[in-house]
Amino acid sequence: MAMASSSMEIAHTPGLERRLRRGDTSAAAAAEEAAPPREVVVEEEEEEGEEEKVYVAVGKDVKEGKATLVWAIENMAGPKKVVALVLVHVHCPPKMISIMGCRFPASKLKEQEVTAHRKLEMSSIYKTMNAYLNICSSKKVRAEKVVIERDDVGEGLVEIVADRGITKLVMGAASEKQYSRKMKMPKSKKALNVQRHARPSCAIWFVCKGNLICTREAGKQGFGMMQPPIASQRSGFSRLEDQLFVALPLVRHKSLTWTPKPMQEIWKERKSSLTSDSNGETKAVTLLHEVSNVSTPSSWSSAEDSISDRWDDISSSNGLKSSSEYVQRKEDDHQVVCPPHQLEKDLTNHKLYEKLRSALEEAEKLKREVYEETCRRQRAERDLYEAMQKVKASDVLHIKEMKQKKEMEEKLTREMVEAEKLRKQRDEALDELQNEHENKIALEHQSIHLELRIEELLLQRDDAVREAEELRKQKREQTATTQGTVNVVEFSYSELQQATNDFDNSLKIGEGGYGTVYKGFLHHTAVAIKILNPPTLHSQFYEEVNVLNKVRHPNLVTLIGVCMEFPALVYEFMPNGSLEDRLICTNNTKPLTWQHRVRIMSEICSTLIFLHSSNLNVVHGDLKPANILLDANYVAKIGDSGISRLSDQCNEKTTLYNKTHPKGTFAYMDPEYIITGNLTPQSDVYSFGLVILRLLTGRSAFGLARDVGEAMGKGSLQALLDRSAGDWPFLQAENLAQVSLRCCEIKRKNRPNLASEVSKVLEAMMKSASLGLASLSFRSVSEDGRGIPSYFICPILQEIMRDPVIAADGFTYEGEAILGWLESGHLTSPMTNLKLRHSELIPNHALRSAIQEWLQQQE
């Protein structure tokens, strides 16, 4: 019989009959503990005839081991091949055992606990191996199973290859997670260990995920030869036991061999007592020689007594009680099979066979008792675990009930407090009801008075509604702030030096308390560069940049850029200078007509309304003719916003701005601002009134309001009007003078509102001036070919329009300019800042033809 056979052989000899008759079954339990490796072997019924055996190493995970097994079945075995598979599993007992959710070292636990845990492990392994056998059965391949215990899987496989003389082995190369198509060598430690240390006579196929990774071919030396186990690893008793099993016949047995721990401990005691006596070993060897000399069935009965007597001597000298200790004996699966003719002769002794079977049944009975004891212990542990779980559940329930009790007590306390509060409220309500009852008579007497008051309030409400409607209407007509902050360009100091020819005095066009203004050229464009004085660096510079960078209006001077390293501001250049220069006719310039002056008044008024009514609530603070600049078309633009203020509160126009040191031109400063230092929008109204009087009279601002007031009282206003401006419409000029004098009132509360009063007077005067202004524009073009009609100029670009279009606000713009305005996100008019009804643009063909005709005439 081949060494790979998984059947369990049992010694059957007449010499052991009397020991088995005594019922000593401890040897059967100790057979497994005596050998270093404990191995469990199960065999299916094998057929007669020689079969080649292929060993397949399988693990606990059937899912991964199935791929290796299927590969071995398809490539090494099959229904038509006379090949049987031997499934080998190396079990590594864990050093830590889990009991009731905790892990303990196996060495620290009781033997009964360790035994029960090992029993459960073997039961799981038994199910796993049966699953592998079912796979083989489904493929119609004969298979056997072998289970051994080792601390290391690789070493266990190396030992079983050596002990069984295995010549063909199939095993995994690595886990399926490590598989790749480029994999050419095994990766797991156990596979590498087997590849390096397994006997050369064994051919090994390494498989991963159902694919052959590599093959270790068998060496020529010792190929196909079965090598004996290593003698140095066996004790003297093991050698004695091997010699005994050589002499004894073997019998097949199909049941799974498993020795409980208590019987193993008994076997250890017997083994130690036997191996400690050298004389006992000598006697056992002598006994084996006598058994070996028996060759015929007739000599068995005569030698039986002699063997039994000698065996008693050995047992008595070494502490052995029964020869049944050798039942189920095997070491490292090294089995020696007697020749078939000797086995047939031994089986003829039916009586001895019956005694041997009785001994085996006794051993099985003892095993069942141990198993039942283990089960009882497991049930007790399970009951203990369930009891502990119930205790824990009871504790949790107790805690939960205590928590609920506490919550109920707190809730009860809150309810009691709430009830007390309700009682107090009830008492208070009763007291209040009593008081109300007492006051009822008094209230009835007051009802008539209240009805009259209600009528009065209704009248006031109607007035407030009308006033609110008027304010909303004015707000819609007023300009608003721009949608976002205007981006300015930052220039370097060297660029400003180059633009002004190193600040040449010949390019100086103005000088004031806050700095000097030069004319310069940046990027081939004429600009006005204002160099601020160092004392006003932080206050003036940043405040003016902040104001001009947040507001934008066609009648405000456009801030082009700033210089941060040397505080300077770059404005658009105004070729016609300031209004002051035009009033005093600097450089013999022509005086402004009354139509131009009325238009300038209207433009300044609309700009102030825009600043005061915007969300930023800006106050200029230094409005005077010198700060009103005129472009090439005499369009007024307010400049020098150096002392403009931004409000922190935008809800009221009467917001005060505390200034301990008032700044500005004294003649145009609000008297209350000079006294209190509080700057308000009414301060600009005062300054604007003086500007109107100057445009009407052409005189200096000092004492002008007094002179005009006296002239109005005497009815001699006609004598004060500036005759160089042309023939003023006297009635309208007189109305304008009256409004101007109201603007110059000492007390702010007496000054008129720009939007509701002043603008209406200017609007009426603008109607009469519009016709004269149009004729004057055409006349100026004919007199001076270089003059450009104002309606040819784009309000945004301030250049002659090439493609004039009409927007929803009724104004005409350059097509590209208004498109850029709308595409940048603006939804309001560039001129009025009112929201546009739509974004459609209508080409102004008539104006375009007029511009082209005028340009041809100029050429």
Of 166-175, 612-621, 643-652, 682-691, which range is least confident?
Answer: 643-652
Report pLDDT for 614: 75
Structure-model confidence comparison of residues 713 and 810, the more confident one: 713
Q: Is the pLDDT of residue 329 over 70?
A: no
Residue spans of alpha helices (H) in 255-339 = 261-275, 278-293, 297-318
Q: What is the mean pLDDT of residues 659-663?
A: 49
Looking at per-residue pLDDT, the higher value among 324 and 185 belongs to 185
Q: Give the DSSP H or E segment for 532.
A: strand 525-532
Predicted pLDDT of residue 553: 82
**For the residues 166-194, what does the mean pLDDT come to?**
90
What pLDDT score was predicted for residue 610? 86
Helix or strand run (H / E) with residue 272? helix 261-275
Residue 135's pLDDT band (cuts 50, 70, 90): very high
Between 222 and 766, whose confidence is greater? Answer: 766
pLDDT tens for 774-788 read 444 444 444 444 568
pLDDT of residue 564: 82
Residues 247-264: what's their mean pLDDT? 36
Q: Are 615 and 551 in contact (CB under 8 A)?
A: no
Which of 189-203, 303-317, 327-341 ranks highest by mean pLDDT? 189-203
Report, as an integer, the average pLDDT of 419-431. Answer: 92
User: Looking at residue 544, what is its pLDDT?
Assistant: 67
According to the annotation, is 530 in a ligand binding site?
yes
Token duo for residue 748: 């702010």
Give 789 or 271, the one with higher predicted confidence: 789
Q: How confident is the model at residue 264 (pLDDT cuts 50, 70, 90)?
A: very low
Q: What is the pLDDT of residue 414?
A: 93
Is the pTM higher than 0.85? The answer reads: no
Q: How far, in Å, are 183, 395, 856 from residue 402 at the CA level?
A: 63, 10, 103
Residue 295: C-alpha distances to residues 247, 459, 621, 854 (Å): 10, 144, 139, 147
- The token pair at 289 is 């020689």
pLDDT over 60 (residue 416)? yes
* pLDDT computed for residue 198 by the predictor: 92
For 484-573, the fitting CATH number among 3.40.50.150, 3.40.1160.10, 3.40.50.300, 3.30.200.20 is 3.30.200.20
Give the pLDDT band of residue 408 (cuts 50, 70, 90): very high
Bridge-based pairing of strands 804-806 and 842-843 is: antiparallel
- Per-residue pLDDT reduced to its tens digit, 703-720: 899 999 999 999 898 889
pLDDT tens for 541-563 read: 676 677 777 777 888 888 888 88
pLDDT attached to residue 463: 87
Q: Which helix (H) or strand (E) holds 206?
A: strand 203-208
Domain spanning 576-779, CATH class: mainly alpha
Average pLDDT over residues 667-686: 88
Banded pLDDT at 308 (limits 50, 70, 90) = very low
Listed residue (225, 261, 266, 232) closest to 122, CA to CA: 261
pLDDT in tens, 584-633: 988 888 899 988 899 899 999 988 988 888 776 788 888 999 889 998 88
- Domain residue spans in the chain? 484-573, 576-779, 791-858
How high is the pLDDT of residue 212?
Answer: 93
Angle between helices 730-743 and 704-714 (to 10 degrees): 130
Per-residue model confidence (pLDDT) at position 145: 92
148 vs 329, residue with greater confidence: 148
pLDDT at 316: 44
Q: Any idea which of 151-160, 492-501, 657-666, 832-841 has the lowest mean pLDDT?
A: 657-666
pLDDT, residue 57, reads 95
pLDDT band at 737 (very low <50, low <70, confident <90, very high): very high
pLDDT at 472: 67
Catalytic residue among 24, 242, 333, 622: 622
Range from 8-12, 370-374, 465-469, 791-795 carrying the lowest mean pLDDT: 8-12
CATH tag, 791-858 = 3.30.40.10
- Same CATH topology for 576-779 and 791-858? no
Token pair in block for residue 371: 């198993």
User: Lowest mean pLDDT: which of 147-161, 348-362, 450-464?
Assistant: 348-362
* Interval 140-179: pLDDT, tens: 888 999 999 998 999 999 999 999 999 999 999 998 888 8
**The pLDDT of residue 317 is above 50:** no
The answer to whether 622 is a known catalytic residue is yes
SS3 content of the chain, % helix, strand, coil (to 5): 55, 15, 30
Look at the block and give the residue holding tokens 């031994």: 346
